[in-house]
Structure 1
Amino acid sequence: MSELNEISRFEQKFTEEVIEVAAVIGASGVGAGRAGGDLLWHVSIPLIAWENLNRHEPVMKEELRLQWLADDKEFERKRDLLKANSVVRLQVRRGENSMMLVKVLETSYRDNELEEILQESLKPVYYHDEVLGQFELIKSVKIFERKISWTGEEGCLTFDWYEDHDKMKSALETAYALFKQEDEWSQKMKEYAAEELVELANDWLQDDEEAEFDEITKEIFIESMKLSTICVYPEGDFEVYYSDGDMFYGHSIIVCGNINGEFEAAEIAG
C-alpha cells in the first residue's frame, strides 16, 4: 500500500472539519505502532480533558486518543514535542473516541480550568486492600502496584485498574490464593519454567564463551531465577516475572498460569 492510500484510509475515520482545541495530555507519553504492510507509524497520545476553542463550549472531561500518521522523521519530531502531563493547544479533526492531530499550536497553553484538571490528575491514587495493604496506581499504564516479600524474595505485586471494582477484587482473590501457599506455588512455577526452558537455556549457553559451567541443569536453572513481579488478574489468572540470572542475557522469564493449577506458558521476553 502506498503512503497516500494509507493516509486516505486513516483520515476517513475523522470528520473533515478542522477545529482548534485546548487539551490536557494524560500520564502516558507518545506511543506508536506499525502493522506489517504499513509504511507509516500510527502514533497516539492520551487526552484526559479538552475544550473546543472555536465554540467556547464547556470543558469535556473524557479520555480520548490523539492520533496521527508519521514517517520516521516526523515521528521523532512530534514524539519530543508533545509531553505527558501538559496542557496544549491544537488543530484537530474529530473521530469516535479520538482526534486526529492536524497541527500543534502551543505546547504550554495557559488555561485555568484545564490546569486544575491537570493538577488533580497528578495527585497519587491508592487502593487499600484489607489483606494485602495499600497499592499505588501507576497512571501511565493504569496498574496498581506495591512492594512485596514472596518466599523471602523482594518484588512487586500488581493488578490492573478497572472501572468495575469487582474485577479488581477478583484479581486480588487470585493473589490471596497464591500467597496462602506461596512456598508451594513458587516451587511449582520455577519447576515448570525449568522444564519448559532448560533446553533453550543450554542452546544459549553454547554461545557464551565466559560461561561458569558446561551445562545448565534444572537445579541450576531454578536457582538462577529471581522474583521480579507477580501480576494477578480476575478469574485466577496470573503472570510471574523473574530475572534470568543471565541465562538468556538479561531477558525476563515469564510464567503464566491459573490458580486452578494449570500452567499455560513459560517464555522469555524483554
Structure 2
Amino acid sequence: MDLLKYMRSQNAMTQDEWERTFEEDAREILVLLAGGQGASKRNGFWDVSHYFIAYVDCQTGALHTGDGRIVYPVSDEEHDAGGILDRFRREAVYRLKARKKIPHEIPEGVTASSQNEFLIVEVLEEDALCPALKEVLADYRRPVVVTDEVLGELTLDKDYDTFEGEILWRGEQICLSLEVDAADEDTWTAAVQAMRQMVADQAAWDRDMRAFAARELTQLACEWRESADEEVPEITEGSFARRIELRSIAMDADGSFSGYFDDDDMFFGHCVVVYGTVADGVTSAVMAG
C-alpha cells in the first residue's frame, strides 16, 4: 500500500466517514495520558489527538500498555478560536466512554499508535483512581540513562522517543539527539552505533557537511545579503563553509541524520540543516527555521 495515497485518502474523509472508522458501540476505559498532542486538518473538520501510554478496559479490568491516542473532532471555528489542545492534562488519568478504532491495513511508515485510537464519546471523570495505571506512571517517570564510552551520558525523553546528550565535535560541545523506539532497545543500539561512526570520522563528516551546504546555499545567501539593511561581507562558497557552525545532530536508528548549523546571520538568524545517511553520505541541505 502506498503511504502517500493512504495519507491522502485519510485526509479526504468527511467527519461522518472518519467516525465510521471506529466501532459503533462505546466502551468505558481508564486512560493514562502522556506524550504528545496535536491536530490534523481533514475534510471540513480537525482531528485532535492526545497520546496515552496505557489504558484499562473497565468491563474486563485488563490493563493494556503501549502508545495510543484519544481523539475527537472540532470544527474550523473551534480550531481558530484556539485552546483546543488544553482540554486534557498530561500524566493524568481520565475515565472515558469511547469507541475503539476498527483495525485496518496500514502501509509501512504509519505509526502503530494510529491504530490504537479511541474516539471520545463522553468524559466521565478526571483524575480517576487506578492503581494499575499509577504503577505505569511511576515507571514512566523513572529516568532512563544510557552511558556510552564514546557518546557519554544519554537520557531518554519518553515523550519524544529520543535520547538527549552532548558530544565533543571538533573541539566544541554540541547537542546530540538519538531518535529511537523507546520500547525497542535494538533501536537504541542501532542509533548509538550509527552516531559512533560519525564521531569516529568527524573531521571528514564536518568537512563534507559544510562543503555540501555551501554548494547548495551560497547563492541563496547572496540573495539574502542583497536585502540586508547594512553592508555585509561578500559571501563565497569558501566563506559560507567556514562561517556556519554545527550546533546539534539528530541521528535515527536507521542511520539517517540531520545536522543543524548556526547560519552566522547569513539568513538573518535562520539555521542551515544538512541531511544524509551514514551509509550514503550527505544528501541535501536547506535553510530552515
Question: How far apart are residue 159 of structure 1 and its match?
Answer: 1.5
Q: Distance in 1 between matches of 2:262 and 2:84?
A: 34
CA distance in structure 1 between the partners assigned to 2:280 and 2:69 by the alignment: 39
CA contact (8 A) 2:166 2:176 kept: yes
Aligned partner (choices 22, 38, 56) of residue 31 of structure 1: 38
* Residues 9, 209 of structure 1: alpha-carbon distance in 2 compared, 3 angstrom cutoff: same
Contact conserved, 2:151 with 2:166, CA < 8 A, in 1?
Answer: no
Contact 2:152 2:167 in 1 (8 A): no
The Cα offsets for residues 55-91 of structure 1, whole Å up to 9 and x where unpaired, read as 2523222321212221245443441121222111222
Contact 1:159 1:172 in 2 (8 A): yes
Aligned to 1:168: 188
Question: Which residue in 2 is equivalent to 1:139?
Answer: 158
Question: Structure 1 residue 193: deviation in Å?
Answer: 0.5
Distance, in Å, in 1 between the alignment partners of 2:231 and 2:47 is 42
Q: What residue in structure 1 maps to residue 72 of structure 2?
A: 68
On the 8 A contact 1:22/1:52 being kept in 2, the answer is yes
Is 1:47 matched with 2:52?
yes
Q: Which moved more, 1:188-197 or 1:175-184?
A: 175-184
Q: Give the match for residue 145 of structure 2.
A: 126
**1:44, CA displacement in angstroms?**
1.0
What's 1:208 paired with? 228
Q: Describe the superposition over 1:129-180 as per-residue Cα deviations: whole angstroms up to 9, x where unpaired.
A: 3432221111221011111121122211222223443443232222222111
- Seen in structure 2, the aligned counterparts of structure 1 residues 262 and 133 have a Cα distance that, compared at 3 Å, is closer
**Bigger shift: residues 241-250 or 163-172:** 163-172
Q: Is the 8 A contact 1:20 1:89 kept in 2?
A: yes
Amino acid in structure 2 at the alignment position of 1:27: G
Whether contact under 8 Å (1:89, 1:107) holds in the other structure is yes
CA contact (8 A) 2:15 2:44 kept: no
Match runs of 1:183-202 below 5 Å = 183-202=203-222
The one-letter code of the counterpart of 2:165 is R
Judge conservation of contact 1:159–1:233 (CA < 8 Å) in 2.
Answer: yes
| Pair 1:102–1:207, CA change in 2 (3 A) | farther
Q: Secondary structure at the match of 1:63?
A: strand
Counterparts of residues 72-151 of structure 1 (less than 5 Å): 72-75=76-79, 76-95=82-101, 96=103, 97-151=116-170
Gaps of 5+ in 2: 1-12, 104-115
| Matched AA of 2:185 | H
Q: For residue 286 of structure 2, give the secondary structure of its aligned residue in structure 1.
A: strand
- Where in structure 1 are there 5+ consecutive unaligned residues? none
Distance 1:142 1:89 in 2: 26
Task: Check conservation: 1:153, 1:226, Cα contact below 8 A.
Answer: no
CA RMSD of aligned residues (A): 2.5
Q: TM-score, normalised by structure 2?
A: 0.82
Q: Is the 8 A contact 1:153 1:227 kept in 2?
A: no
Q: Distance in 2 between matches of 1:148 and 1:182?
A: 11
Q: How many residues align?
A: 264
- The one-letter code matched in structure 2 to 1:46 is Y
Distance 1:57 1:196, change over 3 A: same
Give the aligned partner of residue 4 of structure 2: none
| 8 A contact 2:179–2:253 mirrored in 1 | no
Cα–Cα, structure 1 residues 56 and 73, in superposed 2: closer, same or farther, change >3 Å?
A: farther
TM-score by length of 1: 0.87
Residues of 1 paired with 2:83 and 2:255: CA distance?
A: 43
Q: Paired residue for 2:15, among 7, 21, 27? A: 7
Query: Are the equivalent residues in 1 in contact too, given 2:70–2:120 (CA < 8 A)?
Result: yes
Counterparts in 2 of 1:260 and 1:186: CA distance versus 1, 3 Å: same
State the Cα deviation string for residues 28-69 of structure 1 (Å, max 9, x = none): 2x212225xx3322221111111233x252322232121222
Q: CA deviation at 1:264?
A: 0.9
